[in-house]
Amino acid sequence: MTTGAMRVTVAGERPYDVVIGPGAVVELGLVLAGTPRAVVVHARPLAAAAGAAVEILQQAGVAAEALVVPDGEQAKSAEVAVGAWEEFGRLGLTRSDAVVGLGGGAVTDLAGFLAATWLRGVRVVQVPTSLLGMVDAAVGGKTGINTAAGKNLVGAFHPPVAVLADTDALAGLPAAEFRSGLAEVVKCGFSADGRLLELLEADPTGRRDTTELITRAVQVKADAVGSDLYDTGQREFLNYGHTLAHAIERVEDFGWRHGEAVAVGLVFAAELAAQAGRLSRADADRHRQLIAAMGLPTRYRGDWARLQSVMRMDKKARGASLRFVVLDGLGHPTILTDPDQAWLDAAWAAVSGPQPVTPASGDTP
């Protein structure tokens, strides 16, 4: 067991632990002990970390190999998935074996999808190396790839057998990537855990209380996922800020980091709730002020008509209806269906400025 690690259990049909702390990856051998073979899926920049994971597995008696995939959102394509399936076949991966996803959120999304679809489902262990992966993508069992129609429209619900969030991996994470992950943390603060807001307002960099921030954000997700794996109720609230965010990502051909798009999406959703009379002006302003203090964008200039069209293809849409997660006050999320166009336009005006904010592209794990 990892000394000093925090553990959050995700309930459900097959409960699993999220282990959070320095050196958490060493538990990989314990988790997969007795497994004949494992494939560690990773992007090239993490070759050294993948090699260490392979060594841990081999020392535990697991025949392990590494499989390199593209970096960032480029990993999440049908072409990459087909290539990985062919490699699984060459290696003779059976239902007794396992997949390990090691990397940022895009790679863990892909690895989970590969595990869900190979032989109709093999075990997957997620080893997120980015803050975004630790607090969001690697936890909860949502897996997926992107298509020309939108983000994550092809996927499966496939919970991991464990998530090992080794915080040592964050030491070398670029500052912009760390900030991007914080967007998912502050989302949990606005929608569920006010203590997260207090911690981030005291230190907008998130560096002082990183382990507590991760643990609290994971607990918010675990509470939702444990009772609603298939996204039919409470789990939908985890999508706060994501309807516009996914549209921005798609329109920008994934040139914006996920967390940066979520940051704008949160400000938009707060403004929409304020227009609908559900959220106070002070609480809506608190969104913009805190997100700006964290160094994340609060504005985006784009084609509003196109963004609305893309939002109607979002996974949360139902038929022709637009659906948004909004707040009935801080910590009280709800669904707003088919909001008045005037409300939408006013919320858009609040986030579309005269000058676009263009974050640097990339998704380095």
Q: Which of 2, 1, 100, 84 shows the shortest CA–CA distance to 50?
A: 100
**Co-location of 158 and 37 in the same domain:** yes
Q: Which of 265, 262, 268 shows the shortest CA–CA distance to 284?
A: 268
- Beta bridge partners of residue 103, listed in sequence order: 128
If DSSP codes are grouped into helix, strand and coil, which group holds residue 333? Answer: strand
DSSP state at residue 314: S
Q: Is residue 143 part of a domain?
A: yes
Please give the single-letter amino acid code of residue 109. Answer: D
Q: Which domain holds residue 277?
A: 229-351
Residue 84 CB burial class (10 angstroms; 0-12, 13-18, ≥19): buried
What are the 10-residue block averages of pLDDT along the chain, 365 residues in total? 80 92 96 98 96 98 98 93 97 97 95 98 97 90 88 91 96 93 98 98 97 96 76 80 95 92 98 98 98 97 95 65 94 96 97 59 37
Q: Which of 186, 106, 165 shows the shortest CA–CA distance to 364?
A: 106
| Structural domains of the chain, count | 2
**Co-location of 37 and 161 in the same domain:** yes
Cα–Cα distance measured from residue 277 to residue 260, given in angstroms and rounded to the nearest whole number: 26
DSSP state at residue 38: E
CB 316 within 8 A of CB 245: no
Q: Is residue 59 part of a domain?
A: yes
**Co-location of 254 and 343 in the same domain:** yes
Domain end, chosen from 123, 144, 172, is at 172
**Co-location of 248 and 166 in the same domain:** no
User: Beta strand pairing status for 63-69 and 142-147?
Assistant: unpaired
Q: Which of 169, 180, 171 shows the shortest CA–CA distance to 294?
A: 180
Q: Is residue 264 part of a domain?
A: yes
Q: Which CATH number goes with the domain that contains 246?
A: 1.20.1090.10
Q: Who's near 85: CB < 8 A, 6+ residues apart?
A: 114, 117, 118
Q: Is residue 22 part of a domain?
A: yes
Cα–Cα distance measured from residue 112 to residue 144, given in angstroms and rounded to the nearest whole number: 8
Domain end, chosen from 172, 190, 220, is at 172
Cα–Cα distance measured from residue 198 to residue 193, given in angstroms and rounded to the nearest whole number: 10
User: pTM of this prediction?
Assistant: 0.89
**Co-location of 120 and 255 in the same domain:** no
**Co-location of 42 and 153 in the same domain:** yes
Cα–Cα distance measured from residue 8 to residue 280, given in angstroms and rounded to the nearest whole number: 33
CB 217 within 8 A of CB 196: yes
CB 76 within 8 A of CB 101: no
Q: Is residue 246 part of a domain?
A: yes
**Co-location of 24 and 96 in the same domain:** yes
**Co-location of 31 and 149 in the same domain:** yes
Q: Which of 210, 241, 237, 211 shows the shortest CA–CA distance to 225?
A: 237
**Co-location of 239 and 156 in the same domain:** no
**Co-location of 119 and 267 in the same domain:** no
**Co-location of 10 and 159 in the same domain:** yes
Q: Is residue 298 part of a domain?
A: yes
Q: Is residue 213 part of a domain?
A: no
Cα–Cα distance measured from residue 222 to residue 229, given in angstroms and rounded to the nearest whole number: 10
What is the phi/psi pair of residue 99, to 5°? -115, 140
Q: Could you tell me where the DSSP H helices lie in the chain?
A: 28-31, 47-59, 78-91, 105-117, 131-132, 175-191, 194-202, 210-227, 242-251, 258-275, 281-293, 304-311, 341-351
Q: Is residue 129 part of a domain?
A: yes
Residue 344 CB burial class (10 angstroms; 0-12, 13-18, ≥19): buried
Cα–Cα distance measured from residue 185 to residue 64, given in angstroms and rounded to the nearest whole number: 33
**Co-location of 299 and 154 in the same domain:** no
Q: Which of 103, 49, 62 shows the shortest CA–CA distance to 80?
A: 103
